[in-house]
Amino acid sequence: MTMAGNLRKVTGLGRVGGLRRVARLARRRPRVDLSHPARSPLGSSVVNCVTYRDGVRAPRGGDLVDTVERVRKHGHGFVWLGLHEPTNDEFAGIAELFDLHPLAVEDAVEAHQRPKVERYGETLFAVFKTVCYVEHEELTATSEVVNTGEIMVFVGRDFVITVRHGRHGSLGPLREELESDTTQLAKGPSAVLHAIADHVVDDYLNVIDSVQEDIDQVETDVFAANGARADPGRIYQLKRELLELKRAVVPLGRPLLDLSDRPVRVIDPEIQAYFRDVSDHLLRATEQIAAFDELLNSILQAHLAQVTVAQNEDMRKITAWAAVIAVPTMVCGVYGMNFDHMPELHWRFGYPLVLGVISVACWVLYRGFRRNGWL
């Protein structure tokens, strides 16, 4: 029988044999000292572990096994365990205690997963891609605009386990905000899942607003007077970063619709209405990303058209000057043949006349090209 099964027997029926079995299993692995998270035997991956009853944080004490045992003994409340980039060894004891599916555990440890929501028995496993905007003074062809991470969430009847990957996306402020709304937090683990989803989607919208400023700047530079000289690498860089953002946002649409429409045991029916609101916000983010992609395509095409026009103008100028220079080249070529019997060679005014003819012909050509906009 699994560790979670033993815990259910102990907390539900109070059998001595079950309690001894739990103690034996607990002794075989490190126990989490919640009173000293910095010295946790599980390592630095344990960020926080808090028990909530009726939406209020319960006093902390004991290890993780004792905390879960007390929650299940009282029959209400839940445990919120937060982890940051745990290893397989660090997560093994927790997976056994909460009876987590091996496939979900593997996804949570390895990361680099596609946004999704999966059900494993009584446990819901959700993957969210977190994003943050990377500040930069000037957008270049190598600037990093969007940085991504991941948050994995295990939701059960009496527990929430969050596994975070990446340097951003801290859930500390979110925890404080939830604790200030005891009515919402009293609805159980599903309220935490909704808050995380809402937090992640709000970050999408904030990043999209910041990316829009970069796109506006690129658009302004492209359509400026010297827009043909703008660096097209910036446009390609924005498209690459927008693709990274798209991979985080778009796949989450279907899972959020499922959470808002399909009944799930661990999701409070009242919370499903909130998931519909999050799904609407995500749809707005998806539409904006699609619009940005089309806009960047248009900006790139406009820039290429400007480059083509600028090249045509340069070719016309080169052609016009070549025509002007061809006149003295032709005349001087004729008089450079050095024949003995050329009428103008021994004429006193031959040299000034030739220079005059050359100057007048060049001036006429220059005026003609200038009038037609070639020069």
pLDDT of 80:
92
Q: Are 121 and 237 in a shared domain?
A: yes
Q: Per the domain annotation, does 62 fall within a domain? A: yes
CA distance 329 to 358: 9
> Same structural domain for residues 351 and 254?
no
Into how many domains does the chain fold?
A: 2
- Residue 352's domain is classified under what CATH number? 1.20.58.340
- 366 and 271 in one domain? no
Query: What is the C-alpha separation between 362 and 364, in angstroms, rounded?
Result: 5
Pair (246, 329) in one structural domain: no
206 and 338 assigned to the same domain: no
Domain extent, residue 252, equals 46-307
Classify residue 241: in a domain, yes or no: yes
Task: Identify whether residues 295 and 314 lie together within a single domain.
Answer: no
Regarding whether 325 and 247 lie in a shared domain, the answer is: no
Residues 6+ apart with CB under 8 A from 51: 57, 58, 60, 67, 70, 71, 77, 78, 79, 80
Structure-token match 């599980």, residue found: 42
The pLDDT value given to residue 228: 65
pLDDT in tens, the chain (375 residues): 333 333 333 333 333 333 333 333 333 333 333 333 333 434 457 778 888 988 888 887 667 788 888 888 877 789 999 999 888 888 888 898 898 999 999 999 988 889 999 999 889 999 999 999 988 888 887 888 899 999 999 999 889 999 999 888 788 889 889 889 888 888 889 999 999 999 999 999 999 999 999 999 888 888 877 766 777 888 888 898 999 999 999 999 999 988 888 878 888 888 888 899 999 999 999 999 999 999 999 888 888 888 887 778 778 888 888 888 888 888 887 777 777 767 766 777 777 888 888 888 888 888 888 888 777
Q: Judge if 241 and 356 occupy the same domain.
A: no
The pair of structure tokens assigned to 245 is 């953002």
In a domain, 40, yes or no: no
In a domain, 288, yes or no: yes
pLDDT given for residue 13 in this prediction? 33
Cβ atoms 126, 117 nearer than 8 A: yes
Assigned token pair, 317: 């100028």
Q: What is the greatest pairwise CA distance in the chain?
A: 132
End residue of a domain, out of 278, 307, 336: 307
CA dist list (Å): 369 to 319, 324, 356, 357: 10, 9, 20, 18
Which pLDDT score is estimated for 62?
A: 64
Is 13 part of any domain?
no
Same domain for 303 and 180, yes or no, is yes
The verdict on 335 and 293 lying in the same domain is no
Single-letter amino acid code for the residue at 276: R
Place of tokens 């926080």: 48
Boundary residue ending a domain (255, 277, 307): 307
The CATH number for 299's domain is 3.30.460.20
Task: Print the SS3 string covering 189-225.
Answer: HHHHHHHHHHHHHHHHHHHHHHHHHHHHHHHHHHCCC
Q: What local confidence, expressed as pLDDT, does residue 61 receive?
A: 62
Q: Residues 258, 149: one domain?
A: yes
The residue type at 235: I
Residues 224 and 317 in one domain: no
